[in-house]
C-alpha cells in the first residue's frame, strides 16, 4: 500500500528543510522568515511557525516531518473515499459539502481536503464552493 502525500505536506517538508539549513548556518528566525517570504511569497509559513522550528532543531530534533498528532488516525482520505466523493460531485455539481460528508460518512473537513488536495487538479474544486457557503447558513 503506498501512502499519498499531499502537495501541502511536500511544501511543509520543503520549508522545514530550508529552515533547518538556515538555522545550521546561524541565521536568526527573522532572517529565515524574510528569505522564505521572498522565495515563496504568500505560501511562506508564518513567522510563528518559522520561530518554532529552529527551536526544535536547537533542542536536537533531526526529523523534518511533522509529528503525528494523538487521537484517531485519519483514514477518511483514501482512494475509495476520494472516488466516492468525486462521483457524487460529478453526478450533482451543486451538491453541498455537508451532504457529501453525510453520504460518505466522513467529516466536512475531510471532504474539503479531498476536494482541495486530491480533486483540485481534475477541475472539480470550484464545484462545491457554493454548496459550502449554503451549508454554513443552514
Return the pLDDT at 60. 84
CATH of domain 7-58: 1.10.10
Q: What's residue 65's pLDDT?
A: 75
Q: What is the pTM of this model?
A: 0.46
- Alpha-carbon distance of 23 to 44, in angstroms, equals 16
* Cell 454548496 sits on residue: 131
Coil/strand/helix, residue 10: helix
Local mean pLDDT, 10-residue blocks, the chain (138 residues): 60 87 90 92 88 84 69 71 90 91 89 83 51 45
Q: Which of 109, 68, 104 is CA-nearest to residue 84?
A: 104
Residue 78: name the closest of 109, 118, 108 by CA. Answer: 118
Please tell me the distance from the alpha carbon of residue 108 to that of residue 43, in angstroms, as a whole number. Answer: 24
Report d(CA 32, CA 38) in Å as an integer. Answer: 10
Task: Break the chain into its structural domains and give their ranges.
Answer: 7-58, 79-137
Which pLDDT belongs to residue 34? Answer: 94
Check residue 54 and give its pLDDT. 85
Angle at which helices 47-58 and 29-40 pack, to 10 degrees? 130
Amino acid at each position: 500500500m503506498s501512502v499519498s502525500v499531499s502537495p501541502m505536506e511536500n511544501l511543509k517538508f520543503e520549508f522545514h528543510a530550508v529552515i533547518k539549513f538556515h538555522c545550521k548556518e546561524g541565521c536568526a528566525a527573522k532572517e529565515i522568515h524574510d528569505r522564505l517570504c521572498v522565495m515563496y511569497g504568500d505560501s511562506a509559513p508564518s513567522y510563528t511557525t518559522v520561530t518554532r522550528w529552529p527551536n526544535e532543531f536547537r533542542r536536537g530534533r533531526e526529523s523534518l516531518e511533522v509529528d503525528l498528532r494523538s487521537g484517531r488516525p485519519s483514514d477518511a482520505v483514501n482512494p475509495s473515499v476520494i472516488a466516492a466523493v468525486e462521483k457524487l460531485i460529478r453526478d450533482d455539481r451543486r451538491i453541498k459539502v455537508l451532504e457529501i460528508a453525510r453520504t460518505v460518512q466522513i467529516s466536512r473537513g475531510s471532504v474539503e481536503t479531498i476536494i482541495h488536495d486530491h480533486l483540485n487538479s481534475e477541475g472539480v474544486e470550484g464545484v462545491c464552493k457554493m454548496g459550502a457557503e449554503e451549508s454554513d447558513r443552514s
